[in-house]
Chains A and B, each alone.
Chain A
Amino acid sequence: MLTICLGRKAMNFMMDILFPVILIGGMGLVFGVLLAVAAKAFAVKVDERIPKITQALPGANCGGCGYAGCAAYADAIVKGEAKTNCCPSGGAAVASKIAEIMGVDALDVVPMVARVMCSGTKDCAKTKYIYSGETDCHSAMKLGGGPKLCSYGCIGLGSCIKACSNDAISIKNGVAVIDKDKCGACGQCVAECPKHIIELVRADVSYAVTCSSKDKGKKVRAVCSTGCIGCGICAKNCLAEAITIENNLAKIDPEKCANCGMCAEKCPQKVISFMTVPYEDTFEEFVRV
């Protein structure tokens, strides 16, 4: 009697423990096998060069190459849509690594820097109101496009400073200035600027028109003493014929520019500045004239 009792209890005990263990364990096993099979069946062939190139890239996902991130750029290179030298923050070292992985000749990398295309400091650009809100360009932008009368000019509240990962930007007399030596050309500030006046330019070209105003000369003169008025004097004096006037704004073609400096000398507004000497000095020099 006792043994039967014990046996039944033992049986019940076994059932209580075994059933769940078998079921859950079994489920786990079946699912595991299913997943393993599915992994084989649904395996997507990834070109082995893609992870290699992604590794070689800086991995900052800055978007400076024009793609969504480093992985997207690597994908585009393997597909043949992108060149191997488009990573601005990686520069020549990364470009040669990528070229090696792809088995092609390394392309020359043109070093780039970001540049604020505005010279309208507090002394030059007139203001329409005194802004005392949050120090954020996007906030000021919502109040009639910012405190400056010029609708193209730098707001100077430093949203780009927050975006910069290299600590290269500072505000000098109401205009953002980018330190050429610290700039990694990642393009974060270019994307951040609500006025879209920061550009990536070639670091080896000396002259650039630091103004973004597309207004006519008279209107520019009314709001800023140093804005480009589109007079065309620079274009006429350019020995290399590198300057064109588009939408009342002079533009220097970096491919043609011979770095002679004639345009900066002749510019009546002194808005064409020299870039190879430390930028801050020229900035003061040209803007304060």
Chain B
Amino acid sequence: MLSNLLTLSIGAILIENFVLVQFMGICPFLGVSKKVETATGMGLAVVFVMACASGLTYFVNLLLNLLGIAYMRTIAFILVIAVLVQFVEMFLKKSIPALYNSLGIYLPLITTNCAVLGVALLNVTKKLGFIESLVYGATAGLGFTLAIILLAGVRERLESSNIPDFLKGMPITLITAGLLSVAFMGFSGLSF
């Protein structure tokens, strides 16, 4: 069981990294990666929401299967994730203001992060159990955090380097992201 979870985690963080290998959640990956500090905030918020969403959608999926309308999965999951994020935001604002202030505006942004929906749908296709879903969700979020912090670190250095005019801004960022992605291809050799 434990080795199974470990395999799943390494798979989610490195081999099947959500951003750099599966290309999900590119919007926040490029949008919130200007500073390492904000990137970390966004990453942690994603870890949190992905773990919660994985757990909740597991039960929603059971319900949908029971009624034989599994084809409604995508819509139902979107609904659940949106509600979950709203609820989590309210809950944090009331009970853990410190965490709420540090996650700040990133929480509502996650509603539209397709990586969260992706992890919920992948849990179903991979036929994962409840615990496995939770672990897969959290580690997929960690993979996202790793990727966004890596890119933010590179972008901070790019700020003060001499880049040709036509590559300044988004072009050089996309090239960097591409190179990171190529580097992560190397982990495919780890797959069991």
| Chain A residues near B (Cβ < 8 Å) | 19-20, 23-24, 27-28, 31, 34-35, 38-39, 42-44, 133-134, 136, 138-139, 142
Of B63, B68, B83, B93, most A-chain CB atoms within 10 Å? B83
Count B-side interface residues using an 8 Å CB cutoff.
22
Q: Is the CB of B87 within 8 A of A24?
A: no
Interface flag for B79 (CB, 8 Å): yes
Q: Is the CB of B160 within 8 A of A35?
A: no
Q: Is the CB of B72 within 8 A of A20?
A: yes
Known A19-B69, A24-B72, A139-B161; further 9 A-B contacts with Cβ < 8 A: A27-B80, A35-B83, A35-B86, A38-B90, A42-B90, A42-B91, A44-B97, A133-B162, A136-B160
Q: Is the CB of A38 within 8 A of B87?
A: yes
**Main SS class of interface, B:** helix
Q: Which residues of B contact A38 (CB under 8 A)?
A: 87, 90-91
Enumerate 9 A-B pairs (CB-CB under 8 Å) in ascending A order.
A24-B75, A24-B76, A27-B76, A28-B79, A31-B79, A34-B83, A35-B86, A35-B90, A136-B160
Interface flag for B67 (CB, 8 Å): yes
CB distance from A37 to the nearest CB of B (A): 10
Residue of B nearest to A68 (CB): B101
CB distance from B111 to the nearest CB of A (A): 13
Q: Is the CB of B79 within 8 A of A27?
A: yes
Interface flag for B94 (CB, 8 Å): yes
* A134 CB contact (under 8 Å) in B67, B86, B91, B162: B162
* A35 CB contact (under 8 Å) in B69, B80, B87: B87
Please measure, in the bound complex, the distance between the C-alpha atom of A198 and the C-alpha atom of B86, giving whole angstroms: 44
| Chain B residues near A (Cβ < 8 Å) | 63-64, 67-69, 72, 75-76, 79-80, 83, 86-87, 90-91, 93-95, 97, 160-162
Q: Which residues of B contact A34 (CB under 8 A)?
A: 83, 87
Q: Which residues of A contact B162 (CB under 8 A)?
A: 133-134, 139
Please measure, in the bound complex, the distance between the C-alpha atom of A28 and the C-alpha atom of B86, giving whole angstroms: 13
Q: Which residues of A contact B76 (CB under 8 A)?
A: 23-24, 27
Q: Which residues of B contact A43 (CB under 8 A)?
A: 94
Q: Which residues of B contact A42 (CB under 8 A)?
A: 90-91, 93-95
Instruction: Evaluate whether A134 and B83 lie within 8 angstroms (CB atoms) in the complex, with A19-B69, A39-B90, A44-B94 already known.
Output: no
Residue of B nearest to A35 (CB): B86
Please measure, in the bound complex, the distance between the C-alpha atom of A82 and the C-alpha atom of B28, giving whole angstroms: 35
A-B pairs with the 3 shortest C-beta distances?
A42-B94, A31-B83, A42-B90
Residue of B nearest to A140 (CB): B160
Please measure, in the bound complex, the distance between the C-alpha atom of A24 and the C-alpha atom of B75, giving whole angstroms: 8
Please measure, in the bound complex, the distance between the C-alpha atom of A20 and the C-alpha atom of B97, giving whole angstroms: 38
Q: Which residues of B contact A28 (CB under 8 A)?
A: 79
CB distance from B77 to the nearest CB of A (A): 11
